[in-house]
Amino acid sequence: MASTILRMTERDEQFLRRAMRLSMNGRGTTEPNPSVGCVIVKDDRIIGEGYTQPFGGPHAEPTALASCTESPRGATAYVTLEPCCHTNKKTPPCAPRLIEAGIARVVIGCLDPNEDVDGKGVAMLRAAGIEVAGPALEAEAKQLIAPFIGRMKFHRPYITLKWAQSADGKISGAGGARAQISNAASSRLVHKLRARSDAILVGINTLLADDPLLTARNVEASRLQTRVILDSHLRTPVTSKIVQNNDGDVHIFFAASEYGSEKMRSLMAKGINLHVADTDDAGRISIPMLLNRDLFTDFTHLLVEPGPTLAKSFFDAGGADRVWVIESPNKIGAHDAIDAPRVPNRYVKSAELKIDGDVLSEYLDTESDLFFAGAPSADFVLARDMQSV
Ligand SMILES: NC(=O)c1ccc[n+]([C@@H]2O[C@H](COP(=O)([O-])OP(=O)(O)OC[C@H]3O[C@@H](n4cnc5c(N)ncnc54)[C@H](OP(=O)(O)O)[C@@H]3O)[C@@H](O)[C@H]2O)c1
């Protein structure tokens, strides 16, 4: 749809930025839907605002309209994403709600990538005599909903790689032993990030070294995370915590050569979901093929907690949209500790945050089809806000 930017002012940009910040508050609860922000302004004053409520709940526009302290008739609505107009979904469409409320002008951040909308919401508003301005701040507005665009257009999740490394560039203790590298405040942010993800994935060496549960602990979570292990030769111990605490949503991808093995039978007996996977030239699970599997096309956010081996495979496959590196001020000081992965040059650093001495850096893959702007992600902004309270 060819849409025009009409009469955008500095104030418009400020109100739209306010809506963008609000939209971040829904992160982690609205998926697979995007979180949208809406600000309603009359006579240069905000009279109502809101953001998408948890999945199945009201969208940003009705939430903002319901919060209005005076009649929204004649007001301007700033919405980060084009208002929806389709009815084949859980909640009533938003464009008719704005029309009924007497909104005179709508400023949008970006068009909706959902084929059912994609310009039709704007057309509906214009047909009702409403002035529509935008897309405005489009790159940043798209960056905010990159995971939704990933699902809608590319049928894949937004992928984040996250690790902690020491001041001397190590990711493990001596000889690959487990080491607590990040501090307590950083760990809390990581658990928050886990809680907002659909799935957490590791390579088998990490499972063997750390025996992790891969759950979000001591933080609020609106859903349980699927846990995925890449384990070509089914080395996952039946005694590992993840197997012993299996809740039915633990998945292991392995090579066909192990099909029918004794180990396969014992993991199945524990209720683990086992998937034969396509392998690459090195006999390891092929990352591009993996991401095409049905399990993955259902995820909006995939969090990978890799060792250097798995990180390299994701980087080589172009399979990491975002990287979070937490760097500790402390050294490991063991020559045989494992070196941290390297973030490839094509990544741009979008933000940095001090966390009680640790430093969190966010990098975005400029070559990803889900890269739109080098702006900090919603998860990063929420992490920053957590640190400032
Ligand atoms: N500090 C941190 O944040 C952090 C995070 C994670 C891990 N770690 C540390 O990192 C160390 C483990 O790192 P690592 O590099 O040895 O192992 P890794 O990345 O955890 O796992 C690599 C293994 O996964 C399997 N795999 C299957 N498909 C793969 C693919 N496409 N690409 C890569 N691997 C694939 C391979 O074993 P098979 O061929 O047998 O399948 C491979 O050897 C541990 O010491 C752990 O504590 C630290």
Three-state secondary-structure class, residue 353:
strand
For ligand 1, the distance from its centroid to the CA atom of residue 214, given in whole angstroms, is 14
Residue linked to tokens 């909640």: 91
At 221 the pLDDT is 83
pLDDT attached to residue 223: 82
CA 323 to ligand 1 center in whole angstroms: 16
Q: Return the closest-CA partner of residue 59 out of 104, 87, 13, 92.
A: 92
Burial 264-273 (b: 16+ CB within 10 A, else e): beebeeeebb
The strand pairing partners of 38, in sequence order, are: 50, 79
Q: Where are the beta strands (DSSP E) in the chain?
A: 37-42, 45-51, 76-81, 105-110, 131-133, 158-165, 199-203, 226-230, 250-255, 273-277, 301-304, 322-327, 347-355, 358-365
The answer, yes or no, to whether any atom of ligand 1 lies below 6 A from the CB of 312, is no
Instruction: Tell which one of 180, 211, 279, 309 to mutate to probe ligand 1, the residue whose CB is within 8 A of the most ligand atoms.
Output: 309
Q: Establish whether residue 308 lines the binding site of ligand 1, counting it when its CB lies within 6 angstroms of any ligand atom.
A: yes
Q: Ligand 1 within 6 A of 229 CB?
A: no
* Ligand 1 center from residue 340 Cα (angstroms): 11
| Ligand 1 mutation pick, 214, 232, 310, max ligand atoms within 8 A of CB | 310
Query: Distance between alpha carbon 277 and the CA centroid of its chain, in Å?
Result: 25
CA of 191 to the centre of ligand 1 (A): 20
Q: What is the mean pLDDT of each run of 10 residues along the chain (389 residues)?
A: 65 97 96 96 98 94 98 98 84 92 97 91 96 95 96 95 98 95 96 96 97 93 92 98 96 96 97 97 96 94 98 97 98 97 98 97 98 97 88
Domains of the chain from N-terminus onward: 10-144 (3.40.140.10), 152-388 (3.40.430.10)
User: Among 183, 204, 336, 339, which residue has the most ligand 1 atoms within 8 Å of its CB, making it the best to mutate?
Assistant: 204
Q: Tell me the C-alpha distance between 159 and 49, whole Å.
A: 30
Residue nearest to atom 43 of ligand 1 (CA): 205
340 CB less than 6 Å from ligand 1? Answer: no
Q: How far is the CA of 314 from the centre of ligand 1 (A)?
A: 11
Q: Which residues contact 166 (CB under 8 A, 6 or more apart)?
A: 179, 181, 327, 328, 330, 331, 332, 337, 340
Whole-angstrom distance, CA of residue 281 vs CA of residue 260: 22
| Confidence at residue 2, expressed as pLDDT on a 0 to 100 scale | 44
Q: Whose CA is nearest to atom 10 of ligand 1?
A: 307
Q: Which residue has the tokens 């942010």?
A: 189
pLDDT of residue 5: 58
Give how far Cα 289 sits from Cα of 140, 142, 253, Å: 30, 26, 11
Query: Which atom of ligand 1 lies closest to the CA of 171?
Result: 1
**Whether the CB of 207 sits within 6 Å of ligand 1:** no
* pTM of the full structure: 0.96
Active site residues: 61
Taking a C-beta distance cutoff of 8 angstroms, is the pair 307, 167 a contact?
no
Residue 1 has what pLDDT?
A: 47
Q: 187 CA distance to ligand 1 centroid (A)? A: 20
Q: What is the pLDDT of residue 4?
A: 56
Q: Rounded CA gap, 94 and 69, in Å?
A: 19
Indicate whether residue 341 lines ligand 1 (CB < 6 A): no
